[in-house]
Amino acid sequence: MVLKDTLLYLSQNQRMRNFVIHNKATRGISRRFVAGEELDEAIQATRTLNQRDIQVALDFLGENVSDTQEAEASAQNYITALKLIKQTGVEANISIKLTALGLDISKSLCERNLEAILEHAQETSIFVCIDMEGSAYTEQTVETTIHMHRRFASVGTVIQSYLYRSKKDVEQLIDEGVRVRLVKGAYKEPQSIAFQHKGEVDRNYIQLMSMLLARGNFPAIATHDEHIIEAATAFVRNQGIDKRSFEFQMLYGIRRDLQEQLVARGYNMRVYVPYGSQWYPYLMRRMAERPANLMFVMSNALR
């Protein structure tokens, strides 16, 4: 827990960020978890995954923008990604963050940028997932998703199982027919609002997962945890749920073996493929989530 808290703190540390992004070794290592800094590189990674019968969620990295032009540029990048997905015919959708669209500047700016993206997504029949950020944004993200879903069917969001409030949110999203990507959660949150122990987070994840598999709209079970994956496969088998009515999701560069095993077993698999120059906070959160990721980075940095 101490190591995780330290890494999450460093994910917001500007001095460490400057060191890591300008260090040749760490920039190279980041390519294990980030497809590249340009959209074309992410599309190429998508093609490679598609060849293994794996679909993709493209994520343009960047969050908490404080400049209107930067927020509009981020929205345009997502629109460009939608157009390129359609043009190239790759099997992919997109994942976006509201703070990248200007939520910290104003709600109206964010919603204007989001509407522009969703209008293009509707034209191209591509799903858009509104990513979940820290707990300060949970309420706004859920509300915005539901509001937009009433106008644009192909929009969903992410729920984090470590938050106490998540069962209520899942119930509401199921009732609204909104697609949900279920994750454990990767931000540091206080005990007053979030479970602090892995066992508690996992138990809540399985409870929420069962709700979504039984009654949700094509939910995404996003985990690398083999215990949870086997709980999911056992649940759908025992309940007679079609294995094609949901998908497993994993992160780019993590548990490739498990991805291929699930595809071989006939399950839908989608890999979350991040790209862009703002990769440092994302990389640090991946290190905090799994000690194996940190060991990978350290062993390669020492070569």
* DSSP one-letter code for 141: H
Residue whose token pair is 């963050």: 97
Helices (H) and strands (E) in the chain, counts: 13, 8
Per the residue annotation, which of 59, 131, 202, 225 is the catalytic one?
Answer: 131
Catalytic residue among 181, 255, 270, 286: 181
Spatial separation of the C-alpha atoms in residues 59 and 39, rounded to whole Å: 10
What is each CA distance from 255 to 10, 72, 132, 158, in whole angstroms?
25, 35, 22, 21
What is the Cα–Cα distance from 281 to 17, expressed in whole angstroms? Answer: 8
> In the annotation, is 169 catalytic?
no
The answer to whether residue 225 is catalytic is: no
Asked if residues 222 and 270 have their Cβ atoms less than 8 Å apart, the reply is: no
Question: For residue 214, is it left (φ>0), alpha (ψ between -120 and 50) or beta?
Answer: alpha
Torsion angle of C-alpha atoms 169, 174, 179, 185, degrees rounded to 10: 30
Q: Give catalytic residue positions.
A: 131, 181
